[in-house]
Amino acid sequence: MKNNQNTVVPPLKFFNATFQPSNLVSLIFFFSFGLCSGILLTFQLKNVSFNLLFNELPLSTTTTAAAAALPPPPTQKMRLEDFVHPSKLMHHMTDRELIWRASMVPKVRKYPFHRIPKVAFMFLTRGPVLMSPLWERFFKGHNGLFNIYVHSSDSSSNWTEPKHSVFHGRSIPSKEVEWGKVNMVEAERRLLANALLDFSNQHFVLLSEACIPLFNFSTIYSYLINSNKNFVESYDLMGPVGRGRYSRKMYPIIKLHEWRKGSQWFEMDRDLALEVISDTTYFPVFQKYCNGSCYADEHYLPTIVSKKFGARNSKRTLTFVDWSKGGPHPARYNRYDVTVQFLEKLRSASHCEYNERKNQTCYLFARKFTTHALDRLLRIAPKVMQFNP
């Protein structure tokens, strides 16, 4: 740059040499001329020096410049793969944009690729997935048959899953969730919408950080894939914690006799998941009138699934929870609760229907387990549930 400044000087020197006090007009003329050419030169030289700088740089820059001129390598082109199986879960879409995008259904029903149906395991958590070491063992060896999604409402928590973990990079853009509030259902719909972006996901399971599996992966996968029903618990309950939570302001869109209650923890197929995220009739009514002690997460899905999609619903949940102790929260399981007998009981001591036949396998998941139970679960569960060795 120093050299460039020097080259600007000669015109000024020339001006000085031809200076005559009597000729004011020439003075002004030469001054303006000098000023203008000075400005012009400075700009032009700046460009020159810029170009020079680039040309002087080592080979790498020239190759970059050359590469920019060439067509991009094949990997940079949009692939079908990127569209049907998005690998990065973080995005800048708002909820409205995401739901609109996720609600799209291919009109050509035959897939132009070999589609292996996957199960989307959707974790709705406060912080990290507490039972993740057990889930790691559960998922091991089953890549290609599942996808994990984590909605963590605690934005202040500072944790990242290690690179080798199945949970690594599986967090979705999340928002705050308050217990019993309608934003809990908004989070569930957000999880569904994010999971729907991957066209291979066929079944959608909602789980909490305190949930554990009760069977190995292959058993759970085939139970879900072969079921002809969805698992959204739904029942009509009289009294204050049932119909008592209905608001008359919901009429006539939702009538009292249509009001249902059920567990928040659901399993549903792709068709129902699409219907749920695309619901613009009933959800706004819940957003508006199911506040206070209404607990939308226990009523929204049970009510709309029963009202609109009841024929393909089993009305039961696959997630075991023990409410027998009473109160607003279910029983928690600690270290000494975890025994072989206890797990076997959860696995088979129930009666239900599966594909119109009597069956004893009614629960595939259970909650609520604390981190104190983890050690024993890791020792006992893989044997009881016959995880992959």
Ligand X SMILES: *[C@@H]1O[C@H](CO)[C@@H](O)[C@H](O)[C@H]1NC(C)=O
Using CB under 6 A as the binding rule, the residues of this chain from 53 to 92 that contact ligand X are: none
Please report which helix (H) or strand (E) contains residue 150, including its range: strand 146-152
Candidates 143-151, 235-243, 284-292, 372-380 — which segment interacts with ligand X by CB under 6 A? 284-292
Q: Residue from 4, 165, 359, 370 that binds ligand X (CB under 6 A)?
A: 359
Using CB under 6 A as the binding rule, the residues of this chain from 120 to 159 that contact ligand X are: 158
> In angstroms, what is the minimal distance from the CB of 157 to ligand X?
9
For tokens 């029942």, the residue is 235
Q: Which is nearer to ligand X, 37 or 157 (CB)?
A: 157
Q: Cα(first)–Cα(last) distance of the chain, in Å? A: 69
Any bridge partners for residue 201, and if so which? 118
Count residues near ligand X (CB under 6 A): 17
Q: Residue from 5, 37, 339, 386 that binds ligand X (CB under 6 A)?
A: 386
Instruction: Assess 216 for contact with ligand X (CB under 6 A).
Output: yes
Q: 382: which 2 tokens? A: 């893989």
**144 vs 221: CA distance, rounded Å:** 12
**381 vs 340: CA distance, rounded Å:** 8
Residue 53: what residue type?
L
> In angstroms, what is the minimal distance from the CB of 262 to ligand X?
22
Pairing of strands 267-269, 146-152: unpaired
> In angstroms, what is the minimal distance from the CB of 102 to ligand X?
28
Please report which residue ranges of 197-238 form alpha helices under DSSP H.
217-225
**206 vs 200: CA distance, rounded Å:** 17
Site string for ligand X, 304-343 (x = CB under 6 A): ----------------------------------------
3-state SS track over 89-131: CCCCCCHHHHHHHHCCCCCCCCCCCCCCCEEEEEEEECCCCCC
> In angstroms, what is the minimal distance from the CB of 288 to ligand X?
6
Instruction: Assess 350 for contact with ligand X (CB under 6 A).
Output: no
Q: Residue from 354, 370, 380, 382 that binds ligand X (CB under 6 A)?
A: 354
Instruction: Assess 221 for contact with ligand X (CB under 6 A).
Output: no
For tokens 């607003």, the residue is 328
HSE (side-chain half, CA atoms, 13 Å) at 131: 29
> In angstroms, what is the minimal distance from the CB of 158 to ligand X?
4
Q: Residue from 26, 165, 183, 219 that binds ligand X (CB under 6 A)?
A: 219
**7 vs 5: CA distance, rounded Å:** 5
Q: Which is nearer to ligand X, 204 or 387 (CB)?
A: 387
Q: Which is nearer to ligand X, 76 or 226 (CB)?
A: 226
Q: Which is nearer to ligand X, 181 or 189 (CB)?
A: 181
Residue of 190, 197, 210, 135 lying closest to 166 (CA atoms): 135
Q: Which residues bind to ligand X, rule: CB under 6 A?
A: 158, 215-216, 218-219, 223, 226, 288, 291-292, 354, 357, 359-361, 386, 388
